[in-house]
Amino acid sequence: GGPAEIEHLTARIRERHPHVGDKLVRAEEVTKSFGENQVLKGVNLDVHRGEVVVVIGPSGSGKTTLVRTLNHLEPHDGGQIVVNGETIGYRIDGDGRKLPLGDAAMAQQRSNIGMVFQRFNLFPHLSVLENVTLAPVQTKLMTQAEADEYGRELLKRVGMGQHSSKYPHQLSGGQQQRVAIARALAMKPSVMLFDEPTSALDPELVAEVLDVIAGLANDGMTMVIVTHEMRLARDVADWVVFMEEGNVVDTGSPEHIFGPDGCDRVQRFVKHVS
C-alpha cells in the first residue's frame, strides 16, 4: 500500500493497541540454506511492539524456517535479526566480524522470545502448573511462590485454571496447546512466535486455541504467527505476510491482502486453502 494506506493502518493499529511503538523485531535480508537448497532468499520483516504479524504461504515456502531463525533455533546464514535491540545469535567483534554467541548468551536471548510449536511438547511427567513454572524458576526469574501465583493467573487467562494439577496425558490437544501458550508466556517474553499452532489439532479443537491467541492480540502482545488458518490472518493480524519460495511476495493489512486489490498469486492461494 501507499503512504496514505500505511498512515491509515498505523492509526487503526494504534486505536486497537495504544502502546504500539518501536520496532521490536527486525529481520533484514535474512538468508538460509539447507545444503544446496536456499530456503530464505533475503527476507525482510519488521514487527512493531504490540503488532500481530501473520505469515501465510504455500508449504515449503520457508515460513517455519523464518520463524525459527527469529530465535535462532535455526541459525541464519546472511543478513541480520534484531529482537528488542539485540542481534540474535551473533555478536560483532572489534573488527566487525560476526561471532556466534555462546550457549548462555543465546539462552538469555531466547528467554525473551516465547515460542509455541505445532506439537505442544509439554513435559509429560510434570503437572500443568509445573510445566508453566519450570522455566521462570530454573532461570531464577521468579521464586517458586511467585511462579506459582503467576502461573495460575496465566492458566486462567488461557481458560485452563481448573486443570492446573492435571498431567498432559489427561488433556485434549487443544487444552495441551493452551498450556503450552501459558508456559511460553510465563517467561514474560517481549514477543511470542507461533509455528502452525493449530495444525496438529482436530478441527473441533482449533477454535479454543484461536480464541486464546485473539485474546493475547487484544491485550497488546507482540506476535509472529505462521499459520494455514485464514481466520487468524483475517481477524487477528495487523499485517499479513505472504511468502513463496523463500521470499516475501506480498505484505499488507488483511483488508489489502484479502481484498480486491490483493495480488493474483495471494488470491489464488487463499481460494485454494479456504
User: Which stretches of the chain bind ligand ADP, using CB under 6 A?
Assistant: 34, 37, 39, 57, 59-65
Closest approach of ligand ADP to the CB of residue 67, in Å = 8
Closest approach of ligand ADP to the CB of residue 160, in Å = 28
Do residues 164 and 176 lie in contact, with contact meaning Cβ atoms separated by under 8 Å? no
The identity of residue 100, as a single letter, is: P
Q: Identify which of 15, 53, 25 has the alpha carbon closest to the alpha carbon of residue 213.
A: 53
Do residues 147 and 156 lie in contact, with contact meaning Cβ atoms separated by under 8 Å? no
Closest approach of ligand ADP to the CB of residue 9, in Å = 25
Of 144 and 199, CB closest to ligand ADP: 199
Closest approach of ligand ADP to the CB of residue 255, in Å = 24
Do residues 194 and 223 lie in contact, with contact meaning Cβ atoms separated by under 8 Å? yes
Of 83 and 248, CB closest to ligand ADP: 248
Closest approach of ligand ADP to the CB of residue 95, in Å = 31
Helix 144-157 vs helix 128-138: crossing angle, to nearest 10: 130
**CA-based radius of gyration for the chain:** 19
Of 36 and 204, CB closest to ligand ADP: 36
Closest approach of ligand ADP to the CB of residue 111, in Å = 24
Which residue is listed with cell 490472518? 233
Of 1 and 60, CB closest to ligand ADP: 60
Do residues 226 and 67 lie in contact, with contact meaning Cβ atoms separated by under 8 Å? yes
Closest approach of ligand ADP to the CB of residue 138, in Å = 27
Closest approach of ligand ADP to the CB of residue 174, in Å = 22
All cell numbers assigned to 274: 479456504
Sheet holding 86-87, edge to edge: 37-48, 23-34, 78-83, 86-87
Do residues 253 and 262 lie in contact, with contact meaning Cβ atoms separated by under 8 Å? no
Of 83 and 241, CB closest to ligand ADP: 241
Q: Identify which of 231, 207, 145, 152 has the alpha carbon closest to the alpha carbon of residue 185.
A: 152
Of 61 and 198, CB closest to ligand ADP: 61
Do residues 217 and 223 lie in contact, with contact meaning Cβ atoms separated by under 8 Å? yes
What's the CA gap between 235 and 130, in Å, rounded? 33
